[in-house]
Amino acid sequence: MQEQVIDTSDVLHDRHPPGDLAIWIFILAELSVFAVFFAAYAFTRMNNVELFNEFQQHLDRQSALLNTLTLITSSYFVVRAVAAIKENNHKLCVNWLLAAISMGFLFVVIKSAEYAHHFGEGINLSTNTFYMFYLSLTFFHFMHVIMGMVILGAVAIKAKNGGYSDIEHTGVETGASYWHMVDLVWLILFPLVYVMR
């Protein structure tokens, strides 16, 4: 008798988020921390509007745009990686993941250049309230980008070794969800810190 294989992943996704439930608890905790940071930035700005507006002008918006585009593009690549593994195409999945990691690496390079420029000018956490928020917020996010790259790297290695299939690809979705969270946070951080005045 011919055995019929049914892809249950989409059915399961009707009520449960993609990936491991534990990563979603982690994502919600991380998002909550960033929400507090964003609110703290906005309410501190209330009493220091001129200071925030003045020093915001010193930031490199072009780098921030490039960073936004790299993160959005890497997120899209991760979407393609998940779609590839759902088609049982391991090689394509690995390629999309590597492309996403490369974009993450580009983000790290651009952001590091920005930090080098600021530190070269003698700017640090105690320069003023604006830079305290700018450096701590962006560096906290920067660390999440690095962690996301490590996670995607681990997923890519397992995918290369045939550890995922069209039936079982929870790990790929787990890594993807974390990476999208990193992108999501930057989408708010970019206008808030670099543009809104």
Partner 1 sequence: MNNKVMGVRRCTWVYLVLMFFSFITYFVGRLELSGLTISLFVLLLALIKGQLVGAYFMGLGRLRGLWRWPVFIWLFIPGTLISIAFYLSA
Binding interface with partner 1 (CB under 8 A): 10, 13-18, 24, 28, 31-32, 34-35, 38-39, 42-43, 45-46, 49, 53, 57, 61-62, 64-65, 68-69, 72-73, 75-76, 78-80, 83, 86-87, 173, 176-177, 180-181, 183-184, 187-188, 190-192, 194-197
- Pinpoint the alpha helices (H) of 47-128: 49-56, 61-86, 90-120
Q: How far is the CB of 96 from partner 1 (least distance, A)?
A: 11
Q: 98 or 166, CB closer to partner 1?
A: 166
Q: 98 or 188, CB closer to partner 1?
A: 188
Secondary structure of 9-70 as H, E, C letters: HHHHCCCCCCCCHHHHHHHHHHHHHHHHHHHHHHHHHHCCHHHHHHHHCCCCHHHHHHHHHH
Q: How far is the CB of 159 from partner 1 (least distance, A)?
A: 17
The distance from CA 159 to its chain's CA centroid, rounded to whole angstroms, is 20
Cα-Cα end-to-end distance for the chain = 68
Tell me the HSE value of 125 on the side-chain side, using a 13 A CA sphere.
Answer: 5
Q: Tell me the C-alpha distance between 91 and 15, whole Å.
A: 30
Q: How far is the CB of 1 from partner 1 (least distance, A)?
A: 26
Q: 52 or 126, CB closer to partner 1?
A: 52
Q: 28 or 167, CB closer to partner 1?
A: 28
Q: How far is the CB of 64 from partner 1 (least distance, A)?
A: 8
Q: 53 or 161, CB closer to partner 1?
A: 53
The distance from CA 22 to its chain's CA centroid, rounded to whole angstroms, is 18
Q: 135 or 193, CB closer to partner 1?
A: 193
Residue at token pair 């320069």 = 127
